Amino acid sequence: MTQIIYNVVKAPVGWSLICDGVRIGGIYGTKEAALEAATVVASFSVRDGQGIQINVPEEPATAQGIVKEWPPKWNELLK
């Protein structure tokens, strides 16, 4: 059984889908849209009896809006 690897990657404009080193599909506006496209394509591979792997990059904590340090005002309130 073979395994097909799908990678969602950041393109110069939007997001792109790479399958075994070859760009497939178009340019997607969001990472989620590229993931949906990968899922549809991968479902056909599963139907044909092949294994799949879908990789989506993790966003840095700052891009997710997660604050790494407490605001100084909070430290004063805890004293």
pLDDT tens-digit series, residues 11-46: 888 899 999 888 988 899 999 999 999 999 999 999
pLDDT confidence tier of residue 79, bands split at 50, 70 and 90: low
pLDDT confidence tier of residue 51, bands split at 50, 70 and 90: very high
Amino acid at the residue 30: T
DSSP state for residue 58 in the 8-state scheme: P
35: tokens are 């993931």
CA angle centred on 45, ends 25 and 28, rounded to 5°: 20
Return the pLDDT at 6: 94
Q: Kindly report whether the global pTM for this prediction surpasses the value 0.95.
A: no
- The number of distinct structural domains making up the chain is 1
Range of the domain at 25: 3-78
Return the pLDDT at 74: 61
Alpha-carbon span 54 to 67, nearest angstrom: 29
